[in-house]
A and B are shown apart, each in its own frame.
Chain A
Amino acid sequence: MANTTGNIIAPTSSVRFRELLEKVSSGLRVILRNRLATVGLLLITLVVFVTLGADLIITQDPYQMNIIDRLSPPSAQHLFGTDVFGRDIYTRVILGTRIAMQVAMGAVLLAILIGVPLGAFSGYMGGRVDMLIMRFIDAVLAFPGRLLAIALVAAMGANFLTLWLAIGITSIPGYARVVRGVVLSQKEKEYVEAARMTGESEFRILFFQILPNCIGSLLVLITLDCAHAIITESSLSFLGLGFAPPAPSWGLMLNEARGYMELGPHVALIPGLAISMTILGFNLLGDGLRDVFDPRQYDK
């Protein structure tokens, strides 16, 4: 009996899927109508393909040094020229995409895994739990994020795990706040009451009924956080605190370029362009997504 009632109130999964598909395609239409967001989408699609297919499109060994051929400008053999050790910059920039995306994905995933439940419980429970969690969130926010990452990586050493942690931790408050806001606004709604009457557990209500409402805002946040994670990782590597040489991290490549810019400007220009284009892509896409999901909200 309970099941039948449940089916009447909650749409069946195939209906839901069709609804979701419609939402996605209408969202995509809004993005494609916005020229800048389209550029963003294209850039990010390119970055994703390069990340996945890096092995297929590199032309040389990224670590192969060649002292005679150092700092040579872009040519047919070296599309983007060579760096100070004579390594092929094209190959290294391509592999750098993979490092950047791996760091970004891990950091964002970590922030979601901690931030979303934290915000959900905070909003759903209310009262003391809410106050405690929000104070904790405020405290994290009150700490300068870049400095936090620097100090953490300096103490723990740099590898994927510590970078995910150091970068992800500063993004937790964003997710917790967004989710908490949505939960607070939804938890008194009738459909929640209805779900409760059908005997769904509180846990299921929270995660399957209420949380889907924040997917839009979360997508915006994820996009912008990817940009933030990539900037932070490359900053850390630039400072010599991220991945150790000879890793083809964009930040590290710029660090190595510092003393040789005058001799071969391409060593500083190309990795920087790679970072900037990726960040630009995420920012444009994030702005576009914001228009889709939350047309009235403007810049932070």
Chain B
Amino acid sequence: MGKYILKRLLQLVPVLFFVSIFVFLIIHLIPGDPVEVMLGEDDAAASQELYDALRKQLGLDAPIYIQYVRWMGNVLQGNLGQSMQTGEPVWDMVKARYPATIYLAFSAFIVGILISIPAGVIAAVKQNTPLDYSAMGFALFGISVPNFWLALLLILFFGLYWRVFPTMGYVDPSVNFIQFLWHLILPAIVLGTAMASSITRFVRAEMLEQLRLDYVRTAKAKGLPPRAIVSRHVLKNSLVAATTAIGLQVGRLFGGSTIVETVFSWPGLALLVLEAIYARDYPLLQGSVLFLAFTYVFVNLIVDVIYHWLDPRIQME
């Protein structure tokens, strides 16, 4: 187990390298002169001093590989630079936004699991019945409806027409936990639905596959009731296999939360990415993208380790 984790950690090195290069390059992908873009053309022309200062602060005056080494050195020391807008250290801003993203991802995960596993199991056990069809219909709906439209629909009905849930905003759980949950419900449902639909399909397919295997026939032959076969054997094996599908989706909760956080004004890291984009605050953009990407990579690592722990037969490729 320890060896496996070590191996996976080593595999992360090139991945993190790639992520860091990409994030570093964001600033160089800006067409034209990034400093001018950041300052706005008027300011850049107005003050050569300001222009030079910013250019220096961003380190754009050195050759590109030196810029990367410097930037990476700073990142490794926890220095993500300063926001162009507020002057605050990017690291502090990212840290402040992190909890909201985690809360949302975690609750979406709970929503996703609570829907998908029962739905997938029931669909498989009751194959080709109305129950199966409705579960699969739901899954198809969840895959085909883009999450921003689902969000708008939920806001329209639950927020504007029936006024059940607040349509936007965030309350810190330490301030008012009930209000926090109240604000969390719609975003968590939206983010959880996409996840639930693909896992439902996976669990159903996996269960059907397992139900055809020899051990099920043996269990039937020795007189085990169908319910026990499903709950004691088939379910367990299917869920182990479903871990990979679940893991893939957990990563997506972090990568895909941009829309949900924007629509519901949920002040998480993904919304910070967008705020940085709108404000052309490139150091902040780099910092927040880097952090989100790292989270995604590490969540995937954890999922792999759990998978290996559940089923030690899984070999390294």
Residues of A within 8 A of B (CB): 135-136, 138-140, 142-148, 150-152, 154-157, 227, 231, 234-235, 238-241, 251, 254, 257-258, 261-262, 265, 268, 272, 275-277, 279-280, 283-284, 298-300
Instruction: Decide if B26 touches A151 in the complex (CB within 8 Å).
Output: yes
Interface centre among A138, A254, A283, A299 (most CB of B within 10 A): A299
Instruction: Decide if B258 touches A150 in the complex (CB within 8 Å).
Output: yes
Instruction: Decide if B259 touches A144 in the complex (CB within 8 Å).
Output: no
B27 interface hit (Cβ, 8 Å) = yes
Please classify the interface of chain A as helix (H, G, I), strand (E, B), loop, or mixed, using the class held by over half of its residues: helix
Instruction: Decide if A276 touches B144 in the complex (CB within 8 Å).
Output: yes
In the complex, chain A residues whose CB is within 8 Å of the CB of B5: none
B252 interface hit (Cβ, 8 Å) = yes
Given contacts A142-B18, A144-B256, A268-B156, contact A299 B198 (CB under 8 A): yes
In the complex, chain B residues whose CB is within 8 Å of the CB of A154: 26, 277, 285
Residues in B112-143 with C-beta less than 8 Å from chain A: 140, 143
Stretch binding the partner chain, chosen from B56-64, B90-98, B185-193, B199-207: B199-207
Given contacts A142-B300, A143-B22, A144-B296, contact A283 B144 (CB under 8 A): yes
Which of the residues B29, B146, B245 comes within 8 Å of A300, measured between beta carbons? B245
Which of the residues B140, B156, B292 comes within 8 Å of A280, measured between beta carbons? B140
Instruction: Decide if B160 touches A262 in the complex (CB within 8 Å).
Output: yes
Instruction: Decide if A155 touches B26 in the complex (CB within 8 Å).
Output: yes
7 nearest A-B residue pairs (beta carbon)? A144-B255, A298-B205, A272-B149, A139-B18, A280-B144, A155-B29, A154-B277
Q: Known contacts A143-B296, A262-B156; can you find 4 more A-B pairs with CB under 8 A?
A: A144-B292, A144-B293, A239-B259, A276-B146
Question: Nearest A residue to B286 by beta-carbon distance?
Answer: A151
Given contacts A150-B273, A155-B30, A262-B156, contact A144 B254 (CB under 8 A): yes
CA A154 – CA B147 in complex, angstroms?
21
Instruction: Decide if A276 touches B145 in the complex (CB within 8 Å).
Output: yes
Given contacts A154-B285, A156-B30, contact A142 B19 (CB under 8 A): yes
Question: Chain B 215-254 against A: per-residue CB contact (8 Å), 1 yes, 0 no?
Answer: 0000000000000000000000000000001001001101
Please classify the interface of chain B as helix (H, G, I), strand (E, B), loop, or mixed, using the class held by over half of its residues: helix
In the complex, chain A residues whose CB is within 8 Å of the CB of B254: 144
Instruction: Decide if B14 touches A135 in the complex (CB within 8 Å).
Output: yes
CB distance from B258 to the nearest CB of A (A): 6
B152 interface hit (Cβ, 8 Å) = yes
Question: Nearest B residue to A135 by beta-carbon distance?
Answer: B14
CB distance from A275 to the nearest CB of B (A): 6
CB distance from A291 to the nearest CB of B (A): 12
B148 interface hit (Cβ, 8 Å) = yes
Instruction: Decide if A254 touches B19 in the complex (CB within 8 Å).
Output: no
Question: Nearest B residue to A240 by beta-carbon distance?
Answer: B278
B274 interface hit (Cβ, 8 Å) = yes
In the complex, chain A residues whose CB is within 8 Å of the CB of B144: 227, 276-277, 279-280, 283
B104 interface hit (Cβ, 8 Å) = no
27 interchain pairs (CB within 8 A)? A139-B14, A139-B18, A140-B18, A142-B19, A142-B296, A142-B300, A144-B251, A144-B296, A147-B270, A147-B289, A147-B292, A148-B22, A150-B273, A151-B273, A154-B285, A238-B148, A239-B258, A258-B152, A261-B152, A261-B155, A272-B149, A275-B146, A279-B144, A283-B140, A284-B140, A298-B205, A299-B198
Place the interface of chain B in its size category.
35 or more
Question: Nearest B residue to A152 by beta-carbon distance?
Answer: B29
In the complex, chain A residues whose CB is within 8 Å of the CB of B148: 234-235, 238, 251, 254
CB distance from A288 to the nearest CB of B (A): 12
Instruction: Decide if A299 touches B201 in the complex (CB within 8 Å).
Output: yes
CA A165 – CA B292 in complex, angstroms?
21
Which of the residues A143, A235, A298 comes within 8 Å of B19, measured between beta carbons? A143
CB distance from B169 to the nearest CB of A (A): 15
Instruction: Decide if A299 touches B205 in the complex (CB within 8 Å).
Output: yes
Which of the residues B161, B273, B297 comes within 8 Å of A142, measured between beta carbons? B297
Instruction: Decide if B160 touches A283 in the complex (CB within 8 Å).
Output: no
Question: Nearest A residue to B274 by beta-carbon distance?
Answer: A239
Question: Nearest A residue to B148 by beta-carbon distance?
Answer: A238
Instruction: Decide if B152 touches A157 in the complex (CB within 8 Å).
Output: no
CA A299 – CA B123 in complex, angstroms?
15
In the complex, chain A residues whose CB is within 8 Å of the CB of B252: 144, 146
Question: Nearest A residue to B199 by beta-carbon distance?
Answer: A299
Given contacts A143-B19, A152-B29, A254-B152, contact A235 B297 (CB under 8 A): no
Instruction: Decide if A155 touches B140 in the complex (CB within 8 Å).
Output: no
CA A241 – CA B274 in complex, angstroms?
9
CB distance from B180 to the nearest CB of A (A): 24
Instruction: Decide if A147 touches B273 in the complex (CB within 8 Å).
Output: yes
Question: Nearest B residue to A148 by beta-carbon distance?
Answer: B22
B66 interface hit (Cβ, 8 Å) = no
In the complex, chain B residues whose CB is within 8 Å of the CB of A241: 277
CB distance from B187 to the nearest CB of A (A): 15
CB distance from A43 to the nearest CB of B (A): 10
Question: Nearest A residue to B139 by beta-carbon distance?
Answer: A299
Instruction: Decide if A147 touches B149 in the complex (CB within 8 Å).
Output: no
Question: Nearest A residue to B209 by beta-carbon distance?
Answer: A298
Instruction: Decide if A276 touches B149 in the complex (CB within 8 Å).
Output: yes
B78 interface hit (Cβ, 8 Å) = no
B31 interface hit (Cβ, 8 Å) = yes
Residues in B95-117 with C-beta less than 8 Å from chain A: none
